[in-house]
Chains A and B, each alone.
Chain A
Amino acid sequence: MATTDDSAGAWFGSDGQVSQLRGLLFKAGCLGATLLALFLVFVFLVYVAVDAIEPGTADPAWWATVAATVAVPAVALAAYYYRYDPRAGEVAYTAVGLPIAATLLAGGVGIVFRHIVSPHEWLALVVAALVAYGALEVHDRVRRAGAFERAAIGAIVLVVTIVGLPGLVPSLRSLILSLPVLPMAPLSLLGTFVVPVALAVGWYVRRERESERAGLIAGGATVAAAALGAVAGPVAGVSWTTWLILTTVVGVPVGLYVERVLSGGEGVSGLALPVALAAGVVVCAVVVETAGFTGPDVWLDWEFLTNAHNRTPREAGIYPALVGSVMMIIVVALAAFPVGVGAAIYLEEYAPTGGLLGSFVELVEINIANLAGVPSVVYGLLGLALFINAGGLQPGIVIVGGLTVALLILPIVIVSAQEAIRAVPDSQRQAAYGMGATRWQTVRTVVLPRAMPGILTGTILALGRAIGETAPLLMVGVAAVVRISPTSFFGLFSAMPRQLYSWAQLAKPDFYHGVLAAGVLVLLIVLLMMNGTAILLRNKYQRRD
């Protein structure tokens, strides 16, 4: 803003101060506004954490121990990474976050095997599916039939093996379940859950490393670690089943990640953070135990996670709602993912731009954009009218809640999948079409593999939204309090946010500042892990492109 009107007549000088000040104020104001929004929510989060943990109830010595053994080393390491080794910092945060996220996932898997499909049921399902697949392969060998015949045969075989023909043919699944002797539950899981995971791991490592041997070792190690639980589980104080799930869901990804960091040689020092944290926790526990310091009287404890709602605040827990949320998310994902991705593929790869159909497609696109903005409570009404009033389903059951929320997140899934598909370079499609690939072959072999990380990111974010939705659940009659976890998708359920709302209505200080805060914290941790995973996934594949 230098003008030449001051005495020196020079074009440089201090003339611009006024406008500089104005600019500075503007910049500071903008930054301040950004930080204000974040800061406000941060303060709320601190309050929630304080309410849920009640730090005041602990010995000061307890806090000093925690600070000395866990907090100080962690902060020191974080400062070191920030200053000297950002790459190691990334490794450090992933290496800390991954086990936590994986443990949450393991909790989800545990809930699935405990409440939804028992290990024996799972065994029967897997065996039945394998038999169906085998039958299809044999049929394919014997005669090469058209697509429709194969699809039809596949459907029939699958129905016969898993559902059976009511009254005529019992399904293979029920036959297996009625066998007098079934392997122990952990053994069934070892065969039908760990082994497939191990196969996938082996395949992945083999592809990454281009070494048959590395793949075999990785796969073998997975099975061995899980099998070890027969002996090690009881020693560690957990059941073999828990051990199995922990090793496959937590141990495998963590092991793969650590191994990759070590062999890549980049940012290896980042692994010090999780090690220091773990060591700190152990030392801290030992010191606290021997010195007899009392810890805080936390609301968010194991009891809270495993109890049902109770009128006594200290007894109240969130477990049935947690199970309900997991089951609901399964329904939501199964319903929204295929349909959403299918719609996105149609709109991006198949839809014509001209003609009557073209204008219909345009209408669909506008419609999707608008549906994303329709209030969730209206979706609740749709679910109420569609599934309960018209469909005759019982109010407040898992499938109704799940499908209603699936409708709600469908537009979000579609839009993000469209973006991911659009980001696949056109030259790839051209190459495929030029080779004489059909549209579907191009989509399946070229477009989808490349767009999948983006699609998954969007879907995880959408599922995060689904977990927190409350209003639609209220509208479809999800009960205020459910004390028994649902055991089937047609059972009554409650979900975490619905449970929070019930507690908020109780209007008692102990619920407000204790139980409710703990519940909010659980919900937020789950969401943070989901969103964090999605954002990491996105950053990783964006960097690669």
Chain B
Amino acid sequence: MTQNDTRNVDGDDEQRTDGSETAVSEPTTGSDATSDSLLDASLDVEGGTVPADADTVIEARDLDVFYDDVQALEGVDIEIPENGVTALIGPSGCGKSTFLRSINRMNDLIDAARVDGDLRFEGKNVYDDDVDPVALRRKIGMVFQTPNPFPKSIYDNVAFGLEVQDKADDVDETVHRALERAALLEEVEDQLDSSGLDLSGGQQQRLCIARAIAPDPDVLLMDEPASALDPIATSKIEDLIEDLAEEYTVVIVTHNMQQAARISDKTAVFLTGGELVEFDDTDKIFENPEHERVEDYITGKFG
């Protein structure tokens, strides 16, 4: 706790040139005095032009993550706006997945992982001592790289989140709605009792998406959700992600730059060493990036 506080104070000294400053400048957490002046600038991340009406849902401030002595993320600052798709791209080992997993504290499950700095979800630092990671994960859904349905029926898979989160009302309807939202209902409607493992890879991944959105989280994290799928299944998932972005804040890690360009509104580029080099509107990143290193990476000269 004390460490986090110190970090916070440090952060205040920095200046920020984000276009989103107006949005951030609202009194955020109320109780937390240090967070009042989050609008400072001068980061090594160049601010983009976030529409003034978009609220920030996730905000990292000088976030460091270590695995034992290896630094996986270094001083990451980012503000992820509500709704829309934010893509995290970069070469392998650049820390993009680490960042994704630090949002819903999945890194807690790795004993060696250690986090410094602030990561705010809806204004609250999720690494504060009084935060329960379980409660956090109930507000943030996650979809993984390889489809990982449970060896249960399709229905039970989707209902899993409702069961563990004690949301027992209208399970039937919620399950159907989630499957429909994940564009899977038509294909599985008459086999809800059969095992989720009997589906094809693409269907399994959509099942996992349905499972993630059934308890109605605020944010959906996706860790290379299409990397294990064939092109047709991939394009279905991509369509689905664009759809979901109307309702949810989607943060997606991908190593496929075309995919990022196709589906995301904003893109963050991580480069080697766990450094967030540039974060901006996707069009800007792909057409006219500020940093030469980013341009090299985008054009395939590096990474």
Contacts and interface: CB of A to CB of B under 8 A. Distances in A.
When A and B assemble into the complex, do they touch directly, with CB atoms less than 8 Å apart?
Answer: yes
Contacts of A445: 150, 160, 163-164
B164 A434 contact: no
A339 to B, nearest CB: 25
Nearest to A444: B164
A431 B137 CA distance: 11
A431 B205 CA distance: 12
Interface in B92-106: 104, 106
B146 interface: yes
A353 B164 contact: no
A430 B211 contact: no
Contacts of A446: 150
Contacts of A510: none
Contact of A434 (B135, B149, B194, B212): B212
Interface stretch (A53-61, A121-129, A435-443, A496-504): A435-443
B137 A436 contact: yes
A436 B149 CA distance: 15
B148 A436 contact: no
Contacts of B163: 445
A352 B194 contact: no
Contact of B135 (A352, A431, A435, A436): A436
B208 A431 contact: yes
Contacts, number: 74
Contact of A430 (B136, B148, B149, B212): B148
Nearest to B142: A434
Interface string B193-209: 11000000000000010
Contact of A431 (B109, B111, B139, B144): B144
Contacts of B144: 427, 430-431, 434
B61 interface: no
Nearest to B105: A433
A432 B215 CA distance: 13
B9 interface: no
A438 B150 contact: no
B161 interface: yes
A435 B151 contact: no
A435 B161 contact: yes
Contacts of B142: 434-435
Contacts of B106: 430, 433-434
A348 interface: no
B146 A427 contact: yes
Contacts of B52: none
Interface in A437-462: 437-438, 441, 445-446, 449-450
Given A210-B193, A427-B146, A436 B111 contact: no
Interface string B111-150: 1100000000000000000000011111101111010111
Nearest to B160: A435
Contacts of A433: 106, 109, 137
B6 interface: no
Most buried by A among B136, B137, B146, B193: B137
Nearest to B211: A435
A353 B134 CA distance: 21
Contacts of B42: none
Nearest to A442: B164
Contact of B134 (A428, A430, A437, A449): A437
B78 to A, nearest CB: 21
Contacts of A353: 111-112
Contacts of B112: 353-354
Contacts of A432: 150, 160, 164
Nearest to A351: B111
Contacts of A428: 148, 150
B137 A435 contact: yes
Contact of A438 (B148, B151, B161, B164): B164
Nearest to B163: A445
Nearest to A354: B111
B137 A434 contact: yes
Nearest to A206: B193
B29 interface: no
Interface string A348-366: 0000111000100000000
Contacts of B221: 434
Interface string B210-244: 01100100000100000000000000000000000
B165 interface: yes
Contacts of A427: 144, 146, 148
A517 B83 CA distance: 78
Contacts of B111: 352-354, 358
Q: Which of A358, A435, A437 has the most CB of B within 10 A?
A: A435
A450 B142 CA distance: 22
Contacts of B139: 436
Interface string B155-170: 0000011011100000
A354 B163 CA distance: 32
* Among A352, A430, A436, A446: residue with most chain B CB under 10 A: A436
Contacts of B165: 435-436
B247 to A, nearest CB: 18
B187 to A, nearest CB: 17
Contacts of B160: 432, 435, 437, 445
A438 B109 CA distance: 12
Nearest to B135: A436
Contacts of A435: 137-138, 141-142, 160-161, 164-165, 211-212, 215
5 contacts: A434-B221, A435-B215, A437-B134, A437-B164, A445-B163
Interface of B: 104, 106, 109, 111-112, 134-139, 141-144, 146, 148-151, 160-161, 163-165, 193-194, 208, 211-212, 215, 221
Across the A-B interface, the 6 shortest Cβ-Cβ residue pairs: A436-B138, A434-B142, A436-B137, A427-B148, A437-B164, A353-B111
Given A432-B164, A436-B138, A449-B151, 7 more contacts: A352-B111, A427-B148, A433-B106, A434-B104, A435-B165, A435-B212, A436-B161
